[in-house]
Chain A
Amino acid sequence: MTIQIKIQPEPFDAGERQRQLLRSRTDTGAVVSFTGLVRDFNERPEVQALSLEHFPGMTETALRQIAEEARQRWALQAVTIIHRIGRLAPGDGIVLVQVASAHRRAAFEACDFIMDILKTRAPFWKKEHTSSGDYWVSERQSDHEDAGRWEYR
C-alpha cells in the first residue's frame, strides 16, 4: 500500500492529489476524499484566522502510524494524509485524507477512522484569532467519543 504523509504550510489541491493517488493503477474501485476546512465561527463567532502549530518530528510519525493502523483494519490500496500548518483563513483547507480501495465500504470506513484518530492523537494545536482576541481551541468530548467508536487501543 502507498502511504503519503505531508505536513505543509502551502494549500493543497484535492483534485490533483486524487489524480496522483490513482496514477498508473486500474485496480481501484473507490476513492474517498475528506477535506477539513477553517470555519468562520467556532467557540466564538467571527474567527478571522487560525494558526496551526505542530510537533515537528512527532507529527509525521503519528500520521504514518494512523495510516498503518487503517491498513491493518481494511484492505486499502493507498492513503494520503496532508495537514497544513501555519496561519489559515476561513474557507482554507486544513486537512486532506484520501483513501483508495477496491470497494467503497473499506474506503469510507478507513477515511472516517483516520480522521477520528487524527483528531485525538496527532500533535496539532489550533489557535483561533477572533475579533475578541486570540485563544487556543480546547479539545472536544465528541472527538473522543468519535475516536472511541473504533476501539482504538
Chain B
Amino acid sequence: MTLAQDDGPEPGGDDLFAAEYVLGVLDADEREIASRRIDADATFARLVDAWEARLSPMAAAYPETEPPIRVKEALDRRLFVAEPRSGLWSSLAFWRGLAAASVAALAITIAVPYLNPPVEPPRLVASLTADGSDVRYLAVYDAAHRKIGLSHVSGERAAGKDFELWMIEGKNAPVSMGIIPAGQIAHMTIAPAVQEKLAQGAVLAVSLEPAGGSPTGQPTGPVVAAGDLKSI
C-alpha cells in the first residue's frame, strides 16, 4: 500500500475538522465536540456552513421517499398538542406564582355554581420571541385576576436598560403595560383600560428601553420579543 506514504505533512486544523464533521466520518465523541463548537463558536460554525454548502450538491443523490402518514400524525401530536402542555408543566415555578389565586378561584368555582352560571375566565398564553434576539418570555394572562405572569426564559437586558411590555391590539398604537420587573418570574397587574382590549389575538411585545421605561409613551428601543395571545 503506497497510500500511507503520501507526500506532505498531515493536514489538520479547524477547517478540516469542520470538513470531516460535514462529511460524516468522525466518531461519536468527535461529533459531540464539533457540535458543541458549532453552538459556541461562530467562526467554527461558519466553517461548517461553508463545507455544508460545498458538499450539499451530493445530496441530490438521495432519492425522495414518501414517509408513512403515521410520522406526520405523531408530529402533529407532539408539536401542536402535547408540547404546549408539557412546556407549561415543566415551568412549575411559574405556576407556583399563580397557585394561590388559582386555588382561591377553584374554591369559588366549586362553591358558587348554584348562585352564578359557571363562567370560565379566559386564560391566555403567549410565547414571546423575535428573530435575531435571544430574549424569550412566556406570558400567561389571568383575566380573572387582572394579572399577567411572565416567566423569563432567556436573554439579559443591557446595563442601564429596562424591558418594557406592550400590548398591540389590531392596528392601534402599542399601549404600555409597564416595566417588566427583573427576575425569573414577574407578575404585573393590568390596568383596567388595557384589560378591556386584552383578548385572544392581541400581541404582547417587549422592547428595550432606557431605565425607567420609554420617555415618550411609545417604544423607542428595539422589540426584542413578541408573540400573540392564545387561549389554552
Are the chains A and B members of one assembly? no
